[in-house]
Amino acid sequence: MSTAVLRTPEERFARLPGYAYAPHYVEVDGLRMHYVDVGPRRAAPVVLLHGEPTWSYLYRHMIEPLVAAGHRVLAPDFIGCGRSDKPAAIADYSYQRHVDWAWSWFEQLALTDVRLFCQDWGSLIGLRLVAEHPSAFARVFVGNGFLPTGDARLPLLFRLWRAFARYSPVFPVGALVQAGSRRWLSADERAAYAAPFPDARYMAGIRAFPRLVPVTPDDPASAPNRAAWEALAGFDKPVHTCFADGDPITRGAERALRRRIPGAAEAAHTTIRGARHFLQEDQGAAIARFMIEQMRGDARRPPPAGDQRSSR
C-alpha cells in the first residue's frame, strides 16, 4: 500500500438495527477482510457480494431466510468497505486488486460448490470470479449488475454518479443508499450504512469504485472483462437474473446476461417488483424466496448434529 491503512473502530458497529452477526476475518494481501458466516457449517455455501457504497449490512433482510432454509450464508465486506481494512489513498484501489482480494478470500475459506448472489460492484467482481474460476461455482444469481468492458456508452446517470464520487466535497453514504432505495430507511439504518466511515479519510475505497468501472475500450479492466465474457460464453451452470423493476442504471442489462451465458438459457428469471438499485434493501425477503426456490433441488450436504453456526 502506498499510504496508511485505516481500521474502523469496533464500537462503530455496536447495536446496528437488524445486524447482530459476530465478525469473522481473514488477511488478504496484508489487509484484514471481514465477513459474515452463519448457518450450517457443512451446507453448500451461499455467498452474497455487495456493491458500493454499501457493505454486508445490505444483506440483513436476506441472510435470515436463507439460513432458515438450511443454507450456510457468507457475506464479505470488500476491502475499503464495512468492517474490512481501508487503504487511505484512492490510488491503492484497482479493479484487479478487488478481484484478487476477493478470490484470496474464497481460497482461504476453501469455498467450493458456491451459490453466488451479486449486485452492483458485487457483479463486476463476482462475474469475473465465475469466469476465471468456474469450477468453484454451482449456481449464480445476478441482481442489478453487469460486466462492462468500456465498449458501450454507459447511462448518463452513471456518468453523473462517477463525477459526483470524484468531485463532491461530501459523500453522504446513508443518503446515497436512501436515494437508491424505494423503501424509506430509518435514521438508524442510514446511520448503519455510514458506520464504517467515521470521517472522509475512510472513504477512499468507496469514492474509488466509480472511476474503476471501465468506460473506454482501452481501460486497464477492459481486456480482462472481455476475456471474462469469452469464458462466460462456456459457463453452462444455472445463471439467474433477478433485476429490480425500478433501477435506471442497470435496466436492460439482464437481457445480455441471458443471451450470452449458456447457463441462463434454461434457468428461471424474475423481476423484483417495488425495488430500485438497492433491491436487497427494498425486497430482500422476495429475493431470498426466489433463491431458495431455485436451490431447492440442489444436492445438500446435511450438517452434523449441533452444527448450526448462527451468531444471533
Question: pLDDT band at 307, cuts 50/70/90?
Answer: very low
The predicted model gives 188-213 an average pLDDT of 97
Question: pLDDT band at 310, cuts 50/70/90?
Answer: very low
> Is there a domain that residue 79 lies in?
yes
Percent of the chain with pLDDT over 90: 92
Report how many domains make up the chain: 1
pLDDT for res 303: 41
Domain extent for 56: 5-297
Question: pLDDT band at 301, cuts 50/70/90?
Answer: very low
Model confidence pLDDT, tens digit, residues 114-166: 999 999 999 999 999 999 999 999 999 999 999 999 998 888 889 999 999 99
> Is there a domain that residue 305 lies in?
no
Apex 184 CA angle, 53 and 190, nearest 5: 40
* Summary count for the chain: helices (H), strands (E): 10, 10
CATH code: domain of residue 225: 3.40.50.1820
The predicted model gives 241-250 an average pLDDT of 96
> Is there a domain that residue 92 lies in?
yes
Reference 134, options 292, 250, 287, 262; nearest CA is 262
> Is there a domain that residue 309 lies in?
no
pLDDT exceeds cutoff 60 at 243: yes
pLDDT for res 214: 96
> Is there a domain that residue 236 lies in?
yes
Question: pLDDT band at 72, cuts 50/70/90?
Answer: very high
> Is there a domain that residue 307 lies in?
no
Residues catalogued as catalytic? 120, 247, 277
| Cα dihedral 50→52→56→60 (10° resolution) | -90
Model confidence pLDDT, tens digit, residues 20-30: 999 999 999 99
Question: pLDDT band at 205, cuts 50/70/90?
Answer: very high
pLDDT for res 302: 45
> Is there a domain that residue 183 lies in?
yes
Q: Render 221-235 in DSSP notation, one character per residue.
A: THHHHHHHHHHHTT-
pLDDT exceeds cutoff 50 at 277: yes
Reference 215, options 166, 174, 171; nearest CA is 166
> Is there a domain that residue 293 lies in?
yes
pLDDT exceeds cutoff 70 at 312: no
Reference 137, options 67, 223, 239; nearest CA is 239
pLDDT for res 1: 62
Type of residue numbered 255: R
pLDDT exceeds cutoff 80 at 305: no
pLDDT exceeds cutoff 60 at 281: yes
